[in-house]
Amino acid sequence: MSELINYGMIGGGEGSFIGDVHRRAIALDGKAVLTAGSFSRNTENNRKTGESLNLPSERIYNSFKEMAREEKNRRDGIDFAVIVTPNASHYEIARTFLEKGISVVCDKPLTLDSAQALELADLAEKQNLLFAVTYTYTGYPVIKHARSLIAKGEIGDIRFINAEYPQEWLATEIEQEGQKQAAWRTDPSSSGISNCVGDIGSHVENMISYITGLEIDRLSARLDIFGKNRKLDDNATIMVDYKSGARGLYWCSQIAVGHDNDLSFRIYGTKGSLSWHQENPEHLQLTYLDKPGMTISKGRDELSESGARMIRLPSGHPEGVFEAFANIYSNYVSALKTKLAGKEPQPDYMDFPSAMDGYKGVRFVEACVESSRKDAAWVKL
């Protein structure tokens, strides 16, 4: 029974959405157990959340600092901290736990500015700790397969990428009607310099970076504000030039009526193309030049080892977001276990978004905002 890894959570109190998702995703595989938390700055909410999660009262902390200090000192203290607070507090909380020698999983975007993100990446490395940033969607098995297909040259050299992330939920100004999620996302003091690019454009950047390995050379971005009285972008178009010579086009939107959560990409190479939609996450379209398009899914082809290992159910049994989340945690916890045992994790298990990936995401958002302020002038990354 000593096999189990213990974790604590910061944020994720009642009324929060994403904390619950993280907890369920971890529970699904049962490899790590919640043993401590500081769920809300509201004492009452914090206590109630902790109790509902069956935590002993001494491990329900009123502040993350107290939590870091106390857990550090317990013999059965947490092995890693999960940070699911709004963006603005990520940096300070992550730094605190890292300084105490506790590994960290943090929601994205990692920080409000890229210097902070880089600092966290450096600190984690210096402390020899594991740091993950939960870009959920790279957790899908067929995404790992897509990455493997590209790495093997199946679609040839990449020429053009068209990736997008349209949503509808901010098509009207629901932040003015008390919708809590909308309120903090559209508020610069919680969200930072960008709403739409920061929240979902960054997923596009991360997904393409993960799958293709391409690095962005420069970009030209036009950020739009369609909602009345909004201060931050709710739609953005981004032209991307990659260092390889490939070209890209990203679009993200929160005012795109008809789309729920429609992250997708299409990647065109010299020999073939790949396309994928997050709302149909277990199917990958692969087409070779002049040939009929093929729909790859678990059980309909041999997925790469990195993807196949992540499958919990046979073909035709849908797995979704909880499972994608769980996949990120699965690799992270496996790697952490090895690290805690004093060994180096296998590269395969280091397959989760790192602090450097988090940094790249924040840097991308900064560049988009800068370009847009200059009327879509090209900005080097």
Using CB under 8 A, which residues numbered 162 to 191 contact a second copy? Answer: 162, 164, 167-169, 171-172
Calpha distance 156→114 (Å, rounded): 33
* Residue 215: burial class (beta carbons within 10 Å; 0-12, 13-18, 19+): exposed
CB of 131 to a second copy, least distance (A): 25
Q: How far is CA 20 from CA 68, 79, 101, 168, 229, in A?
A: 21, 19, 25, 23, 31
Q: How far is the CB of 167 from a second copy (least distance, A)?
A: 7
Among 76, 215, 279, 348, the residue binding a second copy under the rule CB under 8 A is 279
The C-alpha atoms of residue 380 and residue 149 are separated, in whole angstroms, by 29
In the complex, least distance from residue 124 CB atom to a second copy, rounded to whole angstroms = 29
Q: What angle do CA 48, 53, 55 make, to 5 degrees?
A: 85
Size of the site for a second copy (CB under 8 A): 86
Judge whether 172 and 256 are in contact, CB under 8 Å. no
Handedness of CA 95, 88, 61, 338 (dihedral sign): negative
Name the residue nearer to a second copy (CB basis): 28 or 381: 28
Q: In the range 323-342, which residues lie near a second copy by CB under 8 A?
A: 323
* Contacts of a second copy in 222-251 (CB under 8 A): 222, 224, 226, 235, 237, 239, 247, 249, 251
Q: Rule CB under 8 A: is residue 378 a binding residue for a second copy?
A: yes
Stretch that binds a second copy, among 17-25, 35-43, 63-71, 72-80 (CB under 8 A): 17-25
Q: Which of 81, 155, 193, 303 binds a second copy (CB under 8 A)?
A: 155
Q: How far is CA 69 from the centre of its chain?
A: 27
Contact predicate 297/282, CB 8 Å:
yes
Choosing from 41, 300, 309, 339, the residue that interacts with a second copy (CB under 8 A) is 300
In the list 43, 189, 295, 346, the residue contacting a second copy (rule: CB under 8 A) is 295
233 CB contacts (<8 Å, ≥6 apart)?
A: 194, 195, 196, 197, 223, 224, 225, 372
Residues numbered 18-47 forming contacts with a second copy, rule: CB under 8 A: 20-21, 23-24, 27-30
Rounded least distance, CB 324 to a second copy, Å: 9
Strand partners, 158: 269
Nearer to a second copy, 259 or 363 (CB): 259
Q: Does 308 bind a second copy (CB under 8 A)?
A: no
Report the residue from 255, 311, 368, 369 that binds a second copy according to the rule CB under 8 A: 255
Instruction: For residue 109, say if its preceding peptide bond is cis, omega within 30 degrees of 0.
Output: yes
Q: Smallest gap, in angstroms, from Cβ of residue 140 to a second copy?
A: 9
Residues facing 287 on adjacent strands: 273
Cβ distance 23 to 50 under 8 Å? no
- Which residue's CB is nearer to a second copy, number 61 or number 242? 242
Applying CB under 8 A, among 62, 70, 322, 370 the residue interacting with a second copy is 322
